[in-house]
Amino acid sequence: SWRARCQERARQVKVEADIADEEDAAEAAAQAIAKAKIASRERIEAEDRARKRKLREKDPDRPKKPTGGGFGVFLNKHRKGFQAECAGQSVAAVSKLASSRWKALSEAKKKPYLDEFQKLTLAYHAAMRKFNPPEKIAKIRQEIEARRLQARGLIEDSDEEEEEEEEEVSEEEEEVDEAAASGDEAEEEEEEDDLE
């Protein structure tokens, strides 16, 4: 009787311990899976960032984007004069001098530099449209979306060909975004010109 109750209680404790162990194991497995998914996403994102850096360095035919706005054009035209004035000083000193001179200009005197920058930007967008035609952009966007879904675990890829295509997608993602922006801006500017 007392012995039977002790044995029964021992069996109950063992069953409860087994259930708790199973629940803990299931929870631990779920946590491990979640951590693995996060690690996989982080790895994929890190690889994508590395590929983007390589892409920027690799393509010598890619059109050069004009930088610095009107100030950039102003600085490029007058850089040698600023360097002569700041001979022997740091690059920061040259930039500081150029910046102060730019700020001192009136809007009317800044306008030619701003207009020149606008022309350079339009030429860049036209070159990007030739570099990345719309059909190529649409295809790459579809591949990028498939890659993102795969990274989130919503799609499972088993074909090696698809994996190779996904690697190419991340390399061209930056080109697509920039080319699409270039195309949209250039089209808007062309429409404005047509209206005038």
pLDDT tens-digit profile of 111-121? 999 999 999 99
Burial 62-75 (b: 16+ CB within 10 A, else e): ebeebeeebbebbb
pLDDT score of 29 = 74
- Contacts for 169 with CB less than 8 Å, ≥ 6 apart: 140, 143, 144, 146, 147
pLDDT score of 149 = 82
Domain spans, the chain: 1-58, 132-196
pLDDT score of 139 = 83
User: What is the spatial distance between Cα 95 and Cα 17, in angstroms, rounded to a whole number?
Assistant: 72
User: What is the spatial distance between Cα 142 and Cα 148, in angstroms, rounded to a whole number?
Assistant: 10
93 sits in which H/E element: helix 91-104
pLDDT score of 26 = 75
Burial 152-168 (b: 16+ CB within 10 A, else e): eeeeeeeeeeeeeebee
Low-confidence ranges of the chain (pLDDT < 70): 54-59, 154-196
